Structure 1
Amino acid sequence: MELRQLKYFIEVAQREHVSEAAEHLHVAQSAISRQIANLEDELGVHLFEREGRNVKLTAIGKIFLTHSLTIMKAVDIAVEQIDAYLDPDRGSIKIGFPTSLASHLLPTVLSAFKEKHPQIAFQLRQGSYSFLIEAVKSREIDLAFLGPVPADDLTIQGKILFTERILALMPSNHILAERRSLRLRDLRNDSFVLFPKGYILQKIAYDACKQEGFLPNISSEGEDLDAIKGLVSAGMGVTLLPESTFYETVPKFTVKIPIENPVINRTVGVIIPKNRELPPSVHTFYKFVIEFFSILEKYQ
Structure 2
Amino acid sequence: MQIGKLEHLIEVAKTESISLASQNLHSSQSGISQSIARIEDELGIEIFKRTRFGVIPTEKGKIIINKANEVLMKYQELLEAAGILNSSISCNWQLSATPIWMTQLLYLVLSYNKTYPNVNIEISEKKPLEIINDVLQNKIEFGLIQAYQNTIPKNEKLIFEVLLEKKMKVYVGQNSPLLHLKKVTPNDLINYSLVLYNDENILRFTNNFFIQHQPMNILLTSNNPEIIKKSVAEGLAISFAPGLMRTDPYVLNGEIVPLEISDYEAEHISLGYIRLAKKELSNITKEFLQLIKTRFKNGIELADD
TM-score category (smaller protein): 0.5 to 0.7
84 and 259 in structure 1: CA distance in 2 versus 1, 3 angstrom threshold: same
TM-score calculated relative to the size of structure 2: 0.62
Which protein shows a greater Rg?
A: 1
Is there any run of 5+ residues in structure 1 with no aligned partner, and where?
1-66
1:281 deviates by 3.4
Paired AA for residue 202 in structure 1:
L
What is the CA deviation profile of residues 222-278 of structure 1, one whole-angstrom value per residue up to 9, with x for unaligned ones?
A: 322221122223433221122222323437765432212325442211111113233
175 and 295 in structure 1: CA distance in 2 versus 1, 3 angstrom threshold: closer
Alignment pair present for 1:73 and 2:73 = no
Paired AA for residue 267 in structure 1:
S
Alignment pair present for 1:190 and 2:189 = no
What is the CA deviation profile of residues 68-87 of structure 1, one whole-angstrom value per residue up to 9, with x for unaligned ones?
A: 897343338x9xx8995562
Would the aligned equivalents of 2:131 and 2:143 in 1 still touch at CA under 8 Å? yes
Would the aligned equivalents of 2:193 and 2:219 in 1 still touch at CA under 8 Å? yes
Instruction: Tell me the C-alpha RMSD between the 2 structures.
Output: 3.4
1:143 deviates by 0.7
236 and 296 in structure 1: CA distance in 2 versus 1, 3 angstrom threshold: closer
Q: For residue 55 of structure 2, what is the aligned residue in structure 1?
A: none
Measure the CA separation in 2 of the matches of 1:232 and 1:217: 14
Q: For residue 208 of structure 2, what is the aligned residue in structure 1?
A: 207
Q: For residue 126 of structure 2, what is the aligned residue in structure 1?
A: 127
1:135 deviates by 0.7
Paired AA for residue 271 in structure 1:
I
Measure the CA separation in 1 of the matches of 2:101 and 2:160: 16
1:162 deviates by 1.5
Match of 1:270 among 273, 282, 292: 273
Which secondary structure does the structure 2 equivalent of 1:261 belong to?
coil
Which secondary structure does the structure 1 equivalent of 2:147 belong to?
coil
Which secondary structure does the structure 1 equivalent of 2:229 belong to?
helix
| Structure 1 segment 84-163 matched on structure 2, within 5 A | 84=76, 87-88=79-80, 89=83, 90=89, 91-103=91-103, 105-148=104-147, 150-163=152-165
175 and 286 in structure 1: CA distance in 2 versus 1, 3 angstrom threshold: closer
Query: Number of paired residues?
Result: 228
| Structure 1 segment 217-296 matched on structure 2, within 5 A | 217-247=217-247, 248-250=249-251, 254-262=256-264, 264=266, 265-290=268-293, 293-294=296-297
Paired AA for residue 25 in structure 2:
A
What is the CA deviation profile of residues 144-183 of structure 1, one whole-angstrom value per residue up to 9, with x for unaligned ones?
A: 1112272533322112112223221234454433111111
1:106 deviates by 0.9
Paired AA for residue 24 in structure 2:
K
Paired AA for residue 217 in structure 1:
N
1:97 deviates by 0.9
Q: For residue 56 of structure 1, what is the aligned residue in structure 2?
A: none
Q: For residue 37 of structure 1, what is the aligned residue in structure 2?
A: none
186 and 129 in structure 1: CA distance in 2 versus 1, 3 angstrom threshold: same
TM-score calculated relative to the size of structure 1: 0.62
